[in-house]
Amino acid sequence: MPHLTYILYSENLDKFYIGSTSSTMQERLDKHLTDHKGYTGKAKDWEVKYFEEFPTVNEARKREREIKKWKSRKQIVRLIGTD
């Protein structure tokens, strides 16, 4: 089973969300869009902009932390390849 690090984007909030999961990307996105109470519960227009697969959950979480440490919208935009 692949483990994923992913980046979501909400146009309404103009914000990115970085996370990791052992679920499929579609399952995780559905959870964010429906009954999620956390940060992503603030909007219902999240879309997947980027994801990477890893063989272990530890590697996926490590990559998630690495991206979050950037604290730079420019670096995230560069990674996902959009303007």
Give the model confidence (pLDDT) of 32-61 as tens digits. 998 778 889 989 999 999 999 999 999 999
User: How far apart, in whole angstroms, are the C-alpha atoms of residue 83 and residue 62?
Assistant: 26
d(CA 20, CA 5): 4
pTM of the full structure? 0.91
Which domains does the chain carry?
3-80 (3.40.1440)
